[in-house]
Amino acid sequence: MPRHPFEEIDLSRLRRPSLVWTAFLAVHVWIGIVGVLMIPKAAFWDLDLYRYWVWLGVHTGQWPSIDAAWVYPAGALLPMILAGVGGLGYGAGYAVAWCLMVTALDAAAFAVLLRRRHGVVAGWWWTAFLLLLGPIAVGRLDAIVVPLAVVGLLWGLDRPAVASFLLTVGAWIKVAPGGLVASLFLVSRRPWRDVAAPAIATSALVAGTVIAVGGRDTVASFLTEQSARGLQIEAVGATPWVLAALLTPRIERWFNDDIGSWELRGLGATQMADLLGGLFAIGLMVAVALLWWRRRRLGRRLWTDRTARSEVLVRGALLVTLAMLVFNKVGSPQYISWLTGPVVVALAIGLPGWRRTAGLVLAVGAATQVVFPWLYGEITYGGAGTTLLLAARNGALVVLLGWTVRALVRPDEAAGRRPEALPDKFDVPDDAAELDDAAAAMAQPIGSTATGTLSTRRSPTGRTSPVMANDEVSGSSSLE
């Protein structure tokens, strides 16, 4: 029989680190070209806002999060200031510097990733995901914390204190990585010493510094500055309203100038936004409770089976991330980059049962780029085709959440193994005994600090100026 033409391809070349490195860096260059040269106003508009905030601080002494309330944690100022080496005036200098900074951070995490047994496979997945997700994978503040999450999860079992530090630093830049500390806490043998203590110390250092330079009244403003937000048009919870708006004029798509995002109103959209504020917190509590249950179900095996322990850590991180996506009234496209850490780490360490999840996340990334930045106007003005694509993307996120819950409840079935007979009662090793009470504490309300979008009340300082309150301007800007 004639040989299939693809049999002549030497697939072993794809396993060469040099090739995946080349592709990884080439994708960053391509995204930089798209964002800096091709469609800067649509793709990298947020970088102009970052530049303006730094210019304002340098030339007027008014720094967000210190002199005025801000939607971001104070640590977000650091990467914004560093990118200022490219210049604070008009032109592409700031955006180029930002792209180089993100590329350097990604490259550092990539180097750590490739040292794992299946690191090259994971590296190809990350490269593909960056390409499919597009400019928002680089041109947003979220790009700074993605490599921190990757390394934090990679080192979660062996260097939990360092992992906790990295994730906490990420949380003080963009709050979402802080949610991953929950799964790290639950798989640590000494959670208070190795996870809680570094997180508390890091937070105290950052908050203390901000207070010392005059930000006492604004250091925590990021927790309350988004209370005025409505139901953002891309949010998963907004999907029924987005679809219904194709059929009835009673649902309005409108641009919220105070917040800087496209939202929906009419036929209960405002009430849904308020409901999601509560569901967000409940969803995170349920996620942590499920992880605690899984840990208790494993018993001693959690400490003797590294694969099982890694699965709780990484699958737990994915569960928390998906809860933050699905139950969020803000659905900015760059949020999809949060999925990078759990998936890429699961592939790097060879966890079973992740192929389907990794494939669907790639599809989610591709759909997200089509919607934003390329066809976002079709969403805001009621284009049926792109609206249906957005709805399908949101549905895929819900499916991913369901798969993740199932994988934690029935891990052997999800991994394609025969269920193991488990004893009715487990003994817990002495060195993990403190985790029992700690895990129970983790099931208490923590959702209020998972992202800056949970607040249901305004800041005590009242409504801020449009500049300081601008967050995730979808379309021309999508911040947070």
pLDDT for the residue numbered 2: 46
| The total number of structural domains that make up the chain | 1
Residue 9 lies in a domain: no
pLDDT of 427 over the 80 cut: no
Residue 463 lies in a domain: no
pLDDT of 50 over the 80 cut: yes
pLDDT of 412 over the 70 cut: no
Quick one: which of 296, 309, 294, 282 has its CA closest to 448?
A: 282
pLDDT for the residue numbered 414: 59
pLDDT band at 415 (very low <50, low <70, confident <90, very high): low
User: How far is the C-alpha of 178 from the C-alpha of 435, rounded, in Å?
Assistant: 19
pLDDT for the residue numbered 13: 74
pLDDT of 418 over the 80 cut: no
Residue 8 lies in a domain: no
Direct distance between the N- and C-terminal alpha carbons of the chain, in angstroms, rounded to an integer: 58
Residue 33 lies in a domain: yes
Residues 312-347 pLDDT 10s: 999 999 999 999 999 999 989 999 999 999 999 999
pLDDT for the residue numbered 155: 97
pLDDT band at 258 (very low <50, low <70, confident <90, very high): confident
pLDDT for the residue numbered 474: 37
- What range defines the domain where residue 91 resides? 16-458
pLDDT for the residue numbered 226: 76
Residues 441-477 pLDDT 10s: 444 443 333 333 333 333 333 333 333 433 333 333 3
Residue 473 lies in a domain: no
pLDDT of 478 over the 70 cut: no
| Range of weakest confidence among 362-376, 378-392, 420-434 | 420-434
Residue 477 lies in a domain: no
pLDDT band at 10 (very low <50, low <70, confident <90, very high): low
Contact call for residues 103 and 201 (beta carbons, < 8 A): no
- Model-level pTM? 0.85
Structure tokens that stand for 469 in this block: 């309150």
Residue 234 lies in a domain: yes
Residues 6+ away with beta carbon under 8 Å from 114: 17, 20, 21, 120, 123
User: How far is the C-alpha of 389 from the C-alpha of 395, rounded, in Å?
Assistant: 10
Q: Average pLDDT, stretch 218-223?
A: 90
More confidently predicted of 442 and 139: 139
Share of the chain above pLDDT 70, in %: 83
pLDDT of 269 over the 80 cut: yes
pLDDT band at 372 (very low <50, low <70, confident <90, very high): very high
More confidently predicted of 446 and 405: 405
Quick one: which of 162, 169, 202, 167 has its CA closest to 182?
A: 167
User: How far is the C-alpha of 221 from the C-alpha of 450, rounded, in Å?
Assistant: 14
Q: Residues 199-233, buried b or exposed e (16+ Cβ, 10 A)?
A: beebbeebbeebeeeebeebbbbbbbbbebbbbbb
pLDDT band at 229 (very low <50, low <70, confident <90, very high): confident
| Range of weakest confidence among 17-21, 123-127, 151-155, 259-263 | 259-263
Quick one: which of 365, 425, 381 has its CA closest to 125?
A: 365
pLDDT of 70 over the 60 cut: yes
Residues 6+ away with beta carbon under 8 Å from 278: 456
Q: Average pLDDT, stretch 411-432?
A: 48
Q: Average pLDDT, stretch 7-35?
A: 85
User: How far is the C-alpha of 207 from the C-alpha of 221, rounded, in Å?
Assistant: 12
pLDDT of 8 over the 60 cut: no
Spatial strand order of the sheet with 231-232 comes to 231-232, 261-265, 252-256
Residue 123 lies in a domain: yes
